[in-house]
Structure 1
């Protein structure tokens, strides 16, 4: 049974469960797909309170998501472009384009608003 995340230990357990669920590539509207969606929502809620991040820094948000999901720069190639472009974006030498934001949002389940700089 999924419960609210109230402690750091529960947060870590939820992240671990999300990682394992992602490895199985669950389909939407299945038991595992619903569990993944609920856990991500709970994790985001916990993080908003305990690890607030400025919405004005999309690269910091993206790097945080990468760390949470165990992603490396190479994992962003399908969403951003070639290896050089990923490096430029993560080093803030190139801004995210609208098409990159759309692909990242859909592919990594990131709210597009978090990837739009202010």
Structure 2
């Protein structure tokens, strides 16, 4: 097992190919192949995080996505945001989310609080 850091796209692609082979083998943890898969997985994940960082979604887009995902209407959002006019204000960006709204959206719809707060 020769494992080294992933410095470029070529290293990354070679590691992905090896990971694919190992995944197909479905090795047991603690075996040489299992250890190699685990270490390569960590290296690939680190490379991807550094080269292809994911931006956090906009809080309003996250709410809209959850509404679409769950088939929720403005009426369904009243327990989390308030009266319909307030829901429309929030969704249009005219009104910021309050701490209470963030808590209710997080607890009720499981939208990550970090996304709702807009923390990077």
Match of 1:114 in 2: 115
Match of 2:49 in 1: none
Question: Alpha-carbon deviation of 1:53?
Answer: 7.4
* 2:62–2:111 CA contact under 8 A, matched in 1: no
Give, in whole Å, the separation in 2 of the partners of 1:59 and 1:53. Answer: 17
Q: Which residue of 2 aligns with 1:68?
A: 69
Instruction: Give 4+ residue runs of structure 1 displaced > 2 Å after superposition.
Output: 52-56
Which stretches in structure 2 are left out of the alignment for 5+ residues? 1-52
Q: For the aligned residues, what is the CA RMSD?
A: 1.9
User: Which one has a bigger Cα radius of gyration?
Assistant: 2
TM-score (norm: length of structure 2)? 0.51
- Kept in 2: contact 1:79–1:104 (CA 8 A): yes
TM value normalised by structure 1: 0.52
Residue pairs, 1:90-109, within 5 angstroms: 90-109=91-110
Following superposition of structure 1 onto structure 2, how do residues 31-50 of structure 1 map, counting pairs within 5 Å?
A: none
For structure 1, the 5+ residue unaligned runs are 1-51
In the alignment of these two chains, the number of paired residues is: 67
Bigger RCO (CA 8 Å, 6+ sep):
1
